[in-house]
Amino acid sequence: MSAPLIGYTELALAAVLVLASAILSLLLNLGYARALLVAGARTVIQLLLVGLVLKTVFALSSPWLIGAVMLAMLVAASYEIRARQQRRYAGLWSFGIGAATTMLATLFVTAFALITLRPDPWFSPQVVIPLAGIVLGSVMNGVSISLNAFNTGIVRERAAIEARLALGASRYTALKPMQRSALRSGMIPIINQMSAAGIITLPGMMTGQILAGMAPFEAAKYQILVLFLLAGAAGLGALVATYVAVWRTTDERDRLRLDRLVQPP
C-alpha cells in the first residue's frame, strides 16, 4: 500500500475550505479573515520552500548546513514568540528572552532524542531536522503562551502583587501565583495533545506515517516517543522562560518593575 500522491488540484480544493471560512468571517464581521488568509498564504509559501530547501540539505548531508538550517529555524521561532506578546520587554529583551529559552530547550531535547535514537550518522538530516522542527514548535507554543500569560497577568494583577511585596513577601513569593498560572496555560496545548492522542485525534505525525505506509503499531510507538519529547521540551522552555520573566520584571530590591515592559501599541 502506498500513499496517494497529492497534486495541485487537490491542494486547490483544500484551499476552498480556508477561503470559505474567511468569507464567513467577513460576512459575519468576526474579524479573523485577514489573519486567516495571511496564515494560509504563509503555509503554502513556507512549506513549499522548506520542501525545496530540505531536498538540497538531504542531498548534501553536511553538518554545517544542518546547523545553519536549525539556526534559521530558531531565529524564526524567536520572532514568532516576540510577535505573540501583548506586553513586550523593552529593548533587546523582547527578542532575547524567547530566543535564549527556546534555544536552550530545543538543543537539550534534540540532543536527548539523538542520544536515544542513535541515527547513523548522528547528524543525519532526515532525523535531526524534522525532530528539531517538531520540538521547536512545541517549545515555541509553551514559551510564547506562558510568557504572554505571565506578562499580561502581572500588569492586570499589579495591585495584588504590590500589596504582597509591601507586606514583606519576596519577589518569588509574590509572583508565584502568576508564574503557576502562566505555566499551566503554557502546558495546556501539549497536555491536551497527549490526553486526546488516539481517542479524539490521531496525531499529525502518526497520521502521516500511516498514510505513507508504516505499520500502525510502529507509528504509534514513534508518536509516543515524539509526544514525550514535545512535553519535555515545552515544559523545560516554559519553566525557564517564566523564571527569567520573574527575574526580569522585578529587581534585586524585590520591586515590581513594570517599567521594563513596553505599552502595547
Contact 237, 136 (CB under 8 A): no
Q: Does 10 bind other proteins (CB under 8 A)?
A: no
- How far is C-alpha 184 from the geometric centre of its chain's CA atoms? 15
* CB contact set of 157 (below 8 Å; sequence gap of 6+): 177, 178
- What is the nearest approach in angstroms of other proteins to the Cβ of residue 238? 22
- What is the nearest approach in angstroms of other proteins to the Cβ of residue 159? 3
Q: Does 47 bind other proteins (CB under 8 A)?
A: no
Q: Does 158 bind other proteins (CB under 8 A)?
A: yes
**Among residues 36, 114, 169, 191, which is the contact residue for other proteins, using CB under 8 A?**
169
Q: Does 166 bind other proteins (CB under 8 A)?
A: yes
Nearer to other proteins, 59 or 166 (CB): 166
- Among residues 177, 152, 153, 151, the alpha carbon closest in space to that of 164 is found at 177
Span 63-122, contacts to other proteins by CB under 8 A: none
Could you tell me which stretch among 47-55, 71-79, 100-108, 153-161 binds other proteins (CB under 8 A)? 153-161
- Which x/- pattern, by CB under 8 A, does the window 175-204 give for other proteins? --x---------------------------
Encode 82-109: b = buried (16+ Cβ within 10 Å), e = exposed.
bebbebbbeeebbbebbbbbbbbbbbbb
Could you tell me which stretch among 62-70, 210-218, 226-234, 250-258 binds other proteins (CB under 8 A)? 250-258
Nearer to other proteins, 67 or 91 (CB): 91
Q: Which residues bind other proteins (CB under 8 A)?
A: 157-170, 174, 177, 251, 253-257
